[in-house]
Each structure stands twice: as C-alpha cells, then as structure tokens.
Structure 1
Amino acid sequence: MSWVFLLIAGAGEIVGVMGINKINNEKSINSFVWLLGGFISSFIFLSIAMQTIPMSTAYAVWTGIGTVGSALAGIIFYKESTDWRRVLFISMVLSAAVGLKLIS
C-alpha cells in the first residue's frame, strides 16, 4: 500500500507544479488552490509512504514521478517540445525510478 501512497504523492507533486504554471499565467484563487492542494497532498502521502519505504528510495521515486509527470504534462497540455533527446532523457528518469522500485 505504501507504493500506492507514493504514486499518489507523485501525482500531487505534478498537480502542484501545474499550479505554479497556472500562477505564472494567471494569478487567481484557483491557481493557488492547485499549487497548495497539490504540494500539501504530495507531502502528506510522501510522509505516509516513508513509514515503510526507505527514505532514499521514496524520495528518488517521488522526484522521478514528479519530474517525468511534469514534463509529460508540459508536452500534453502546454505544447512543449517533443524533441527525441528530451523524450530520451525523460525515459531515462522513468527507468531509474522503476529500477529503484524493482530492487526495493
């Protein structure tokens, strides 16, 4: 169950980062709700996951989910570049996070 909480924490981080982008585009209550709601839920679920997952693994996977998820959100929702090198490095971060899960 801890890995599910870690995935939820990663999703919260993605929402928080999207909130930062929303604030940069338009300062509104809705934007701040995205930011605060995403990061607060992310930290809560990360702390729950870290009760059974080692800190180093949990943090690395959490940041990997946030990094890959935010990059994919930028590509999907904000029409950011899909250059093959960018996709390659996103894939490398994802494979590292999956690798940590497999050896834990």
Structure 2
Amino acid sequence: MSWVMLFIAGLLEVGWAIGLKYTDGFTKLWPSVGTIISLVASFVLLGLAVKSLPVGTAYAIWVGIGAVGTAVLGIFLFEESADTLKLVSLGLICAGIAGLKLAHG
C-alpha cells in the first residue's frame, strides 16, 4: 500500500506544480485552492509512505514522478520544447525511478 500512496503522492505533486501556472501568482482563487489542496495531500501521502519505505528511495521516486509528469504536461499544455535531449533526460529519470523500485523489492 505504501507504493500506491507514493505513486499517488507523485501524481499530486504534478498536480500542484502544474497548478502553480494556473494560479497566476496565487491571484486566482480556485486554481490557488486546488493547488494548495494538491500540495498538502501530496505531502501527507509522502509522509505516510515513508513510514514503511526508505526515505531516500521514497523521496527520489516522488520527485522523479513529479519532475517527469510536470515536464511532460508542460510540453502538451504549455507548448514547451520537446527536444531530443529533454526527452532522453526524462527517460533517464524514468529509468532511475524503476531502478530504485527494483532495488527496494
């Protein structure tokens, strides 16, 4: 169950990171509320996951999911660049996430 919580926490990290773009510097109420809720929920689930997972592994995976998800959504939602180096780098982060999960068992 800890891995599921960690995965959801990572997805929520993507939610609040992307949400920051829509808050317009926290001047828009509902995007700001959604971003803050997503942020708090992400931290709570990460905290619950590290009760039974190594903190270094859990944090690295949480950050990795957030980084990859945010970068990919940035490409699709905000027309950010999708050059080869960026995509290869995101693939390496995914490989690192998978490696950490496999190393833990």
User: Is 1:72 equivalent to 2:72 in the alignment?
Assistant: yes
* Structure 2 unmatched runs, 5+: none
Identity of aligned residues (%): 35
Shift of 1:31: 1.5
How many residues align? The count is 104
Rounded Cα–Cα distance in structure 2 between residues aligned with 1:103 and 1:30? 40
Over aligned residue pairs, what C-alpha RMSD do you find? 1.3
Judging changes above 3 Å, is the alpha-carbon distance between structure 1 residues 47 and 60 closer, same or farther for their aligned structure 2 residues?
A: same
TM-score, length-normalised on structure 2? 0.93
Q: Once superposed, which parts of structure 1, at least 4 consecutive aligned residues long, lie more than 3 Å away?
A: none
Within 5 Å, give how 1:23-102 maps onto structure 2: 23-24=23-24, 27-102=27-102
Closer, same or farther in 2 for the Cα pair 1:25/1:74, shift >3 Å?
A: farther
- TM-score, normalisation: structure 1: 0.94
After superposing the two structures, state which structure 1 stretch, 29-38 or 91-100, moved more: 29-38
